């Protein structure tokens, strides 16, 4: 019984230590909410990405199948691509387009898990959580099954707390004013910087290879933006 009680603060401490930076990422995501990118996409993506981190840690715990850090680091290209897309192709939806997106959107929670917006959030969450696996595997390995279940329950409960906290912070007048004025301008650079940090930290690519990959992504983003514009015209 004492082990189960101890598992609660252990889970809180482990989650907090490995996910403090996620609050900042969630703040940025919630500041970008619009008709096409809803709060439910962020919450679903956060849970999906975190569940993938836990699953990878459990695989490592049960079968020694830990994903190599370099593979995880390559996911840093995802926030780089998203950042480049937002910088090169800023959203300028008309009121008619926004209303159309609202009318076509599906409020179903299940549909949120199938949307590309959710996968984008999940990919950023997973890529930013490479260190989590290295901490969770030994933590899980030193926990009995009942304690492990308690820790996992605490983890998934705290994901909701993290999302709620970030959402409420964006509603504060001072924070909301800053994000409204400058959010669209600095979010692309934050995402690009996050991606660069993840790739280099995990030594997934050399700096030169990262520059080359970023240039390729830039070309793809520009090409996609032109195709979208031509299709709309």
Domain residue extents for the chain = 2-232
Exposed/middle/buried for residue 26 (C-beta within 10 Å: 0-12, 13-18, 19+): buried
Of 201, 44, 186, nearest to 125 (Cα)? 44
Tens of pLDDT, residue by residue over 152-207, are 999 999 999 999 998 988 888 777 667 666 666 776 887 788 788 878 877 888 89
Tens of pLDDT, residue by residue over 69-116, are 677 678 778 778 878 887 887 654 434 433 443 344 445 555 555 678
CA angle 66, 67, 69 (to 5 degrees): 115
Is residue 170 classed as helix, strand or coil in its secondary structure? helix
Distances (CA, A) of 71 to 110, 169, 207: 29, 33, 16
Q: Which single residue is written with the structure tokens 């409020």?
A: 107
């Amino acid at each position: 019984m004492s082990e189960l009680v101890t598992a609660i603060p252990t889970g809180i401490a482990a989650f907090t230590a490995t996910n403090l930076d996620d609050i900042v990422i969630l703040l940025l995501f919630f500041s970008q909410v619009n008709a096409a990118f809803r709060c439910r996409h962020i919450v679903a993506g956060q849970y999906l990405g975190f569940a993938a981190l836990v699953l990878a840690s459990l695989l490592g715990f049960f079968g020694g199948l830990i994903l190599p850090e370099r593979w995880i680091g390559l996911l840093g290209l995802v926030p780089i691509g998203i950042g480049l897309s937002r910088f090169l192709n800023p959203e300028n939806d008309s009121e008619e387009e926004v209303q159309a997106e609202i009318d076509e959107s599906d409020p179903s929670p299940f549909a949120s898990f199938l949307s590309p917006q959710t996968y984008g959030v999940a990919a950023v969450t997973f890529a930013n959580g490479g260190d989590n696996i290295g901490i969770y595997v030994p933590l899980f390995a030193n926990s009995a099954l009942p304690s492990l279940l308690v820790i996992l329950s605490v983890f998934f409960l705290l994901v909701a707390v993290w999302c709620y906290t970030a959402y409420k912070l964006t509603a504060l007048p001072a924070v909301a004013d800053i994000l409204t004025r400058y959010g669209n301008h600095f979010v692309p650079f934050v995402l690009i910087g996050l991606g660069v940090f993840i790739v280099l930290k995990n030594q997934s690519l050399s700096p030169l290879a990262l520059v080359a990959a970023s240039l390729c992504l830039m070309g793809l983003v520009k090409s996609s933006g032109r195709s979208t514009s031509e299709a709309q015209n």
